[in-house]
Amino acid sequence: MIEKFQKQLQIGGWLVVAVLALSAVWLGQSIDQLSRTGNVGDVITVSGTGTVSATPDIAMADLAISVEGSTAASAQTEANRRSKMAVDYLKGVGIKETDIKTSGYSIYPQYDYTDGRTRIRGYQVTQSLAVKIRDMDKANTVLDGVVDAGVNQVNNFRFEIDEPDRLKDEARAKAIADANAKAHGLKSQLGIRLGKIVSFSESGDALPPIIYGRGGAMDVKVSSAPAPELPAGENEITVNVTITYQLR
């Protein structure tokens, strides 16, 4: 009985030794991990900016045909006639049908107020078109010619970049490189060691496209005037990034 009890004590002692040894190994690994990664609260945040400039490769025009008639039906008929003339003209100068889109259509009664009484004198119908011009060499002449083809409002005419996402990727890469350069500059200046990235955020915008106002008055007539000179200039896309590194 005593011998059996002694054996149990011996086995229990070895188990305690094994547990203590494993605990020591785990504690050593944890200390080593902390020494390599540092306190999770020890971080440094840097920001970077990247900008890409590019010449616009498309022109966008917001056009409208606005007419009045004594009845809604007559106004619609005239608006449809002018709209067809305008679309036929655009197709005739090489604008694809997929690049001509109806962006709005409205019918409003027009009122007269006389002697405190209100009466409807007619109806105004307005049909708006959004047109993408891919051949930049034709942009000026299209803007001039579309008025003779039935359009009486050119609300704005602007130059844009057709695929801005590619340029945004380039701007982001520049912004990240800028942030990394700042982080490594601080690394040597402050005597710190950078760990893994713990957060990343991005913001940015493209500068507004160049916009040229034109018209807005009814029945604009410019057939005797030369086609306008509209320089495309350059558009810019800017991306700002913020990167937080853990210190180790």
pLDDT tens readout for residues 188-222: 888 888 999 999 999 876 555 555 544 443 345 44
CATH number of this structure's domain 57-161+209-231, picked from the four choices 3.30.70.2970, 3.40.50.1580, 3.40.50.300, 3.30.70.270: 3.30.70.2970
- Cα 142 from Cα 86, distance rounded (Å): 11
Q: Are 60 and 133 in contact (CB under 8 A)?
A: yes
**Pairing outcome for strands 100-114 and 117-133:** antiparallel
pLDDT tens readout for residues 174-186: 999 999 999 999 8
pTM score of the predicted model = 0.62
Given this model, what pLDDT does residue 48 score? 95
Distance of CA 242 to the CA centre of its chain: 18
Complete DSSP assignment for 125-190: EEEEEEEEE--GGGHHHHHHHHHHTT--EEEEEEEE-S-HHHHHHHHHHHHHHHHHHHHHHHHHHH
**Does position 71 have pLDDT exceeding 80, yes or no?**
yes
